């Protein structure tokens, strides 16, 4: 994903949740000072905090700028064209209904290499001053490490020890300075860690995913090692590679541990600018919420987040999202309303990217407020996002829907909907897409799809691992049962097509069902077979399969401490063997780190 110096992103949220969170926490804005003593927030879980965070706004292209003069505290925040941050600006953001502010910070110019990365005191004071602007108003504040060239580098893999040490030193100092700030302050370990400047900058590769997992562990261990103030309960946001929402990268995330146990109060950080041509380029001016081509990528992201994290009690924060301006305010309103509706349905706080660039071209025009006058440039876009959130019940998508993963006499139900899903656009890969698991592609197993209507279907598979985006598979056979069609895709048929692209079943991340004639209605997708498949994952990657426990994995810099059926290693989910299993399962290696820098 291309980025200019104008950076990016976006969001929206529910005024009802905002009001409820104020009631729950008893927040009262303090006159000056950093803390509203009567509104101290403590003892909450990350899930509870995420439900209180409300609509968020990014102070983009400011402290995350990389220009300016080293030693001049104020020159960096204005080096990309934005004025110095004022209390009036943050007050305007707060009064507009935003409950969260994300403050991206690039520390590089003010954390010298030759003094063990000690952060300049004046710069730290300035960051704290702006944090206080929001904190004293009862807002949630996300403070992070942003455009750091020593993290975002083509040498991310080979520089792993140096990056880990420097990251730990910076977070040691931040955790110490802000220890007494309560749970209104959230730390985000990194922004979009990636192989910058390479041909795979935004997609990465498994070795880079593993480094990001390691750095997330270093960040969490560093903050939790500081026992002062609220650091033991502070919510910590961890990204996957590039903070991407791609299914392959989301699936690669390995949540950090602390003291050999699940690290409490973690949130997964995800960014989304979908659809790309509408949100981050000048190529698409319109957005139609009834067109799956416009909404498909958004919908698929939330399905993936639900399956991989939300259903396991792991909260997610959409830390950046936005749609660039190109004289298309009404289209952006439609996008914002749809985005607001989806994020509220899944119970995910959304933080709008604002970079202060109020132009109408170039893909990076995300200035929702005039930072000099503190007047809103696009108030109707913000209002549309809030209206979208208010149109649904917060988190309603987590309470039911399809029966993904439920065992039955037919096999494992991948997806079902009693009301059916009608696809009205032929040959559209985004109309009906599902995430794919390795267990679906096992010898003797078939994928069976039940649908009604006249016309054929095909299965199309994507592999982000191999960069193969369209692998079509015709049905092995189609049977008619009780007035419905059932299309079967056998293991042999799928493998034959995958082999043409040098893709293994374990490397498929998404599968779509393409209709050859518009108007077909899908009812159920099942992976047939009554056998059990166990997939062992280490550091976000498949390590072994089978019902027998594999040899203990050896991971550089980390200690293996058992297999678990949940990503966050909850007590009671230890996996010691396949005996008694009645359905497929994925188990995860718990990895621990002892800081020894």
Each residue's pLDDT tens digit, 539-573: 988 899 888 899 999 998 899 999 999 998 888 89
Residue 454 located in a structural domain:
yes
Of the candidates 78, 79, 59, 84, the residue with the CA atom closest to the CA atom of residue 67 = 79
Final residue before a domain boundary, out of 398, 425, 443: 398
Spatial separation of the C-alpha atoms in residues 395 and 578, rounded to whole Å: 33
Report whether 150 contacts 108 (CB < 8 A). Answer: yes
Same domain, 231 and 163: yes
Same domain, 467 and 434: yes
Residue 263 located in a structural domain:
yes
Residue by residue, what is the 3-state secondary structure of 12-27?
CCCHHHHHHHHHHHCC
Residue 269 located in a structural domain:
yes
Residue 346 located in a structural domain:
yes
Element (H, E) at 447: strand 446-452
Spatial separation of the C-alpha atoms in residues 328 and 320, rounded to whole Å: 20
Confidence (pTM): 0.85
Element (H, E) at 128: helix 121-135
| 3 state DSSP class of 270 | strand
Same domain, 372 and 426: no
Query: What are the b/e assignments for 308-328, b being 16+ CB within 10 Å?
Result: bbbeeebbbbbbbbbbbbbeb
Same domain, 70 and 145: yes
Same domain, 445 and 302: no
Spatial separation of the C-alpha atoms in residues 2 and 364, rounded to whole Å: 10
- Helices and strands, number each (H, E), in the chain: 12, 25
Same domain, 380 and 482: no
Same domain, 394 and 421: no
Side-chain-facing half-sphere of 374: CA atoms under 13 Å: 13
Side-chain-facing half-sphere of 354: CA atoms under 13 Å: 28
Q: What is the pLDDT of residues 468-523, one digit of tens each?
A: 889 999 999 999 988 899 999 999 999 999 999 999 888 888 899 999 999 999 99
Same domain, 475 and 387: no
Model pLDDT, residue 52: 95
Model pLDDT, residue 262: 83
Model pLDDT, residue 481: 83
Model pLDDT, residue 530: 66
User: 444 or 285: which carries more pLDDT confidence?
Assistant: 285
Number of domains in the chain: 3
Query: What are the b/e assignments for 163-185, b being 16+ CB within 10 Å?
Result: bbebbbbbbbbbbebbbebbbbb
Residue 307 has pLDDT above 90, yes or no: no
CATH number of the domain that 551 lies in?
2.60.40.4270
Range with the lowest mean pLDDT among 266-270, 362-366, 584-588?
A: 584-588
Final residue before a domain boundary, out of 398, 428, 461: 398
Same domain, 479 and 539: no
Of all residues in the chain, the percent with pLDDT exceeding 90 is 70
Q: Identify the band that residue 27 occupies on the pLDDT scale cut at 50, 70 and 90.
A: very low
How many other C-beta atoms can be found within 10 angstroms of the C-beta atom of residue 579? 6
Cβ neighbourhood burial of 48 (10 Å; 0-12, 13-18, 19+): middle
| 3 state DSSP class of 451 | strand
Same domain, 519 and 548: no
588: phi > 0 → left, psi -120 to 50 → alpha, else beta; which? Answer: beta
Residue 370 located in a structural domain:
yes
Instruction: State the catalytic residues.
Output: 192, 320
Residue 509 located in a structural domain:
yes
Residue 497 located in a structural domain:
yes
Q: What is the pLDDT of residues 170-210, one digit of tens each?
A: 999 999 999 999 999 999 999 999 999 999 999 999 999 99
CATH number of the domain that 261 lies in?
3.20.20.80
Query: Domain range for residue 581?
Result: 534-592
Final residue before a domain boundary, out of 528, 555, 575: 528
Torsion sign (Cα): 35, 39, 41, 42: positive
Strands annotated E in 197-278: 236-239, 257-258, 261-262, 266-271
Rounded mean pLDDT of the chain? 88
Written as six digits, the tokens of 461 are 């598979």
Written as six digits, the tokens of 193 are 């860690």
Q: Identify the band that residue 163 occupies on the pLDDT scale cut at 50, 70 and 90.
A: very high
Query: What are the b/e assignments for 378-389, b being 16+ CB within 10 Å?
Result: beebbbbbbbbb
Query: What are the b/e assignments for 145-157, b being 16+ CB within 10 Å?
Result: bbbbebbbbeebe
Same domain, 255 and 209: yes
Same domain, 41 and 66: yes
Residue 37 located in a structural domain:
yes
């Amino acid at each position: 994903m291309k980025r200019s110096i104008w950076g990016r992103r976006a969001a929206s949220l529910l005024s009802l949740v905002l009001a409820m969170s104020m009631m729950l926490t008893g927040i009262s804005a303090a006159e000056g000072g950093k803390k509203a003593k009567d509104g101290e927030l403590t003892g909450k879980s990350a899930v509870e905090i995420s439900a209180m965070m409300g609509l968020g706004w990014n102070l983009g292209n400011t402290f995350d700028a990389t220009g300016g003069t080293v030693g001049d505290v104020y020159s960096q925040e204005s080096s990309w064209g934005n004025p110095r941050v004022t209390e009036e600006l943050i007050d305007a953001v707060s009064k507009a209904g935003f409950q969260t502010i994300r403050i991206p910070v690039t520390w590089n110019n003010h954390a010298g290499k030759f003094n063990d990365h000690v952060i300049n005191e004046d710069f730290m004071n300035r960051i704290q001053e702006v944090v206080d602007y929001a904190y004293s108003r009862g807002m949630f504040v996300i403070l992070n490490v942003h455009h750091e060239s020593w993290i975002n580098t083509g040498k991310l893999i080979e520089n792993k020890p140096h990056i880990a040490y420097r990251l730990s030193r910076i977070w040691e100092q931040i955790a110490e300075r802000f220890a007494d700030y309560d749970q209104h302050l959230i730390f985000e370990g990194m922004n979009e860690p990636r192989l910058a400047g390479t041909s795979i900058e935004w997609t990465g590769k498994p070795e880079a995913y593993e480094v990001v997992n390691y750095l997330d562990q270093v960040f969490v261990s560093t903050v939790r090692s500081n026992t002062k103030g609220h650091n033991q309960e502070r919510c910590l946001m961890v990204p996957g590679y590039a903070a991407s929402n791609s299914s392959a990268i989301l699936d690669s995330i390995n949540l950090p541990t602390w003291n050999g146990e699940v690290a409490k109060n973690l949130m997964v950080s995800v960014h989304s600018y979908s659809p790309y041509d509408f949100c981050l380029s000048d190529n698409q001016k319109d957005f139609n919420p009834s067109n799956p081509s416009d909404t498909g990528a958004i919908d698929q992201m939330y399905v993936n987040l639900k399956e991989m994290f939300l259903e396991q009690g792991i909260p997610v924060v959409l830390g950046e999202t936005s749609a660039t301006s190109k004289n298309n305010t009404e289209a952006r309103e439609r996008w914002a309303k749809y985005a607001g509706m989806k994020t509220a349905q899944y119970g995910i706080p959304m933080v709008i990217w604002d970079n202060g660039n109020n132009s109408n071209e170039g893909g990076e025009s995300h200035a929702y407020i005039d930072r000099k006058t503190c007047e809103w440039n696009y108030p109707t876009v913000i209002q549309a996002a809030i209206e979208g959130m208010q149109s649904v019940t917060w988190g309603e998508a987590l309470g039911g829907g399809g029966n993904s993963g439920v065992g039955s006499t037919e096999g494992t139900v991948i997806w079902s909907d009693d009301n059916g899903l009608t696809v009205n656009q032929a040959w559209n890969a985004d109309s009906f897409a599902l995430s794919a698991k390795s267990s679906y592609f096992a010898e003797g197993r078939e994928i069976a799809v039940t649908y009604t209507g006249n016309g054929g279907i095909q299965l199309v598979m994507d592999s982000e691992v191999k960069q193969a985006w369209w692998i079509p598979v015709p049905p092995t056979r189609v049977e008619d049962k009780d007035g419905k069609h059932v299309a079967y895709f056998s293991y042999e048929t799928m493998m034959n097509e995958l082999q043409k692209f040098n893709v293994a079943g374990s490397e498929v991340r998404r599968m779509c069902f393409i209709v050859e004639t518009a108007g077909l209605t899908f009812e159920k997708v099942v992976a047939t077979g009554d056998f059990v498949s166990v997939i062992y994952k280490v550091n976000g990657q498949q390590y072994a399969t089978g019902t027998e426990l594999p040899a203990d994995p050896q991971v550089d810099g980390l200690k293996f401490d058992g297999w678990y059926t949940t990503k966050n290693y909850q007590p009671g989910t230890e996996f010691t063997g396949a005996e008694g299993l009645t359905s497929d399962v994925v188990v995860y290696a718990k990895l621990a780190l002892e800081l020894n820098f």
